[in-house]
Amino acid sequence: METTPTRSENATSGATRRNILGAGALMGTLGLLTACTTPPGGSAAAGGAGGSGAEGSAEFTDAIKKLVNGRTVQIGFTPPVLSEYYTQMENAAFTRMAQLEDLYGVKWKWEKSSPTGNFNAVEQQISTVQTWTSRKFDVVFICTGANFATMQGVYKNAMNAGTKIFQFNQPVELYPVDQINTVSNIGYDNRTQSGYVAGKFIADTLKGKGKIVQIMGPSGSDWTKARLIGFNQALAENPGIEVVGTADGGYLRDKGLSAAQDLLTRHPDINAIYGENEDMALGASQAVDAAGLKQWDGSQGIVIVGADGLLSGMDAIRNGKLTASVDVNSVDNAIRMIDIAFQSVVLKNYVPKISNITTHLVTKDNVEAYAAYINGIMAPKKTY
C-alpha cells in the first residue's frame, strides 16, 4: 500500500495550544476504541460497526461526562451534492456520534441539506447556512462549490451569531489560512494527497511513457485547480507522459461517460484516463467497454484512475473495471469532523484550523482492506 504525506496540523484557533483538563490527551484517545481494528492509515474509531469502548480510565470518562452534562448538539450537514461519497461520510459520522453518546452522554440532532440540481447550485447552500444560523444551530459542517470570498462573509456572519462553522473535504490549501473564517477545516491536501498520487501511479504503471486524457470537474472548481497542481507535478517528473485531451465531466458518472466517449472518438490510441473524481472515472470505464477497447490487465490495456474511495469504485477495481483510485477517506474525514466539533463546541478546547487525514491509493492488491473499512460503518447502530 502507498500512503501519501499529510499536511501538519499547524494552525490552531485560539491564542494557545493548551487544552483544558488534560483534554489534549482526549484528542489522542478519541478514536482509540479497544474493540476496533484499523487498516494502515485509518482511524481506529471507525473499525467495525460502531461498538463503544473505553477511551481512557474510568475516572477520565466520568470527568468528561460531567463536562458534557447531557448536552444536546444541533448539527447541520450540507455537502455540495447528494452522492455515494457523502452517504459514506454520513454513516461514519453517525457511527462516531453514537460512540461518543454511549461514552460521555452527549446528545445529537442532525439535519442534512444539499443543493438540488448541479454542483454549482450554491445559492441554496448559502440560504441553508443562513437559515441554520437563525435557528441557532451549534455546528454547521459544510463542503461547497461556492466562491471562496462569498462564503467567508457567510461564515463570518454565522460565527458572530454563535453558530460554529467547520468545512470538510474542502481544498483550503489554495487559500491563506488567516482568510478562512471557520473554526476548523477537516480534509486532505488535494495537490499532494490526490492529484499527485494519481499522476504518479499512471506514470509508474505506464513506465513513464504514454498518451493520456483527463476528465475533470467543472471549470473553475477549486478541487480541479488543486488536483491539477499535483497531477501536473507528477507529469513534470515524467516528461514521456503526454496529455492529448481534456474534457469537463461535471463530477457526474453520466457526464463522465459522455466526456470519455468524445475523447475516445478523437484519441482512440490513448494509454490512460484520469478521472478527477471516481464517478467520472467509472463513466469513463463504461465508455471504454462500449468502444470495445481493452481495460488494463496488469500488462496491457487502458489504465483508468479515479479519486474518492467509493464502495462502487472498489467493486469496479475488484472486477477489473477500474485500475486504481485515490481513496480520500470518507470514513476518517467524518470521524475527525465529529471529534473536532465535540472538542470545540462541547469541551471548549482549542482545535487545529487545518486538520488533514491520510489518503490511500487503492488497487487490486489492497482493495479488500479498504472496502472492509468502509463497510464497517455502512450500518450504524443509530442514525440521527
pLDDT in tens, 102-125: 999 999 999 999 988 666 678 899
What pLDDT, on the 0 to 100 scale, is given for residue 62? 96
> Is the pLDDT assigned to residue 242 strictly greater than 80?
yes
Does the structural domain 6-188+330-358 have CATH classification 3.40.50.2300? yes
Topology (CATH level 3) of domain 191-327: Rossmann fold (3.40.50)
| C-alpha to C-alpha distances, 77 to 53, 99, 379, nearest whole angstrom | 26, 19, 19
123-151 pLDDT, tens digit each? 899 999 999 999 999 999 999 999 999 99
Strand-by-strand arrangement of the 360-362 sheet: 2-3, 360-362, 324-327, 303-308, 272-275, 210-216, 241-248
> Is the pLDDT assigned to residue 220 strictly greater than 60?
yes
Beta-sheet pairing, 164-168 with 303-308:
unpaired
CA 278, CA 354: separation in Å to the nearest integer?
A: 25
Q: Quote the percentage of the chain above a pLDDT of 70.
A: 85
> Is the pLDDT assigned to residue 43 strictly greater than 50?
no
CA 274, CA 283: separation in Å to the nearest integer?
A: 11
278-309 pLDDT, tens digit each? 999 999 999 999 999 999 999 999 999 999 99
The two domains 6-188+330-358 and 191-327 share their CATH topology (first three levels equal)? yes
| Residue 35: pLDDT band with limits 50, 70, 90 | very low
* Nearest of 187, 133, 136 to residue 155 by alpha carbon: 133
Amino acid at 36: C
Q: Picking from 6-10, 257-261, 326-330, which range would have the lowest pLDDT averaged per residue?
A: 6-10
What pLDDT, on the 0 to 100 scale, is given for residue 58? 94
What pLDDT, on the 0 to 100 scale, is given for residue 5? 35
Q: Quote the percentage of the chain above a pLDDT of 90.
A: 81
> Is the pLDDT assigned to residue 222 strictly greater than 90?
yes
DSSP codes, 180-219: --SSEEEE--TIIIIIHHHHHHHHHHTTT-EEEEEEE-ST
Q: Picking from 47-51, 71-75, 105-109, 299-303, which range would have the lowest pLDDT averaged per residue?
A: 47-51
Residues 208-222 have a mean pLDDT of: 94
CA 128, CA 247: separation in Å to the nearest integer?
A: 32
> Is the pLDDT assigned to residue 46 strictly greater than 50?
no
* 167, three cell numbers: 468545512
What pLDDT, on the 0 to 100 scale, is given for residue 53? 59
> Is the pLDDT assigned to residue 18 strictly greater than 80?
no
What pLDDT, on the 0 to 100 scale, is given for residue 120? 65
Task: Give Cα 77 distance to the centre of its chain.
Answer: 14
What pLDDT, on the 0 to 100 scale, is given for residue 79? 96
Spatial neighbors of 45 by CB under 8 A, at least 6 apart, are 30, 31, 32, 33, 36, 95, 96, 99, 335, 339
What pLDDT, on the 0 to 100 scale, is given for residue 59? 96
Average pLDDT, the chain: 88
In the chain, where the domains are located: 6-188+330-358, 191-327
85-101 pLDDT, tens digit each? 999 999 999 999 999 99
* Nearest of 171, 245, 170 to residue 215 by alpha carbon: 245
301-334 pLDDT, tens digit each? 999 999 999 999 999 999 999 999 999 999 999 9
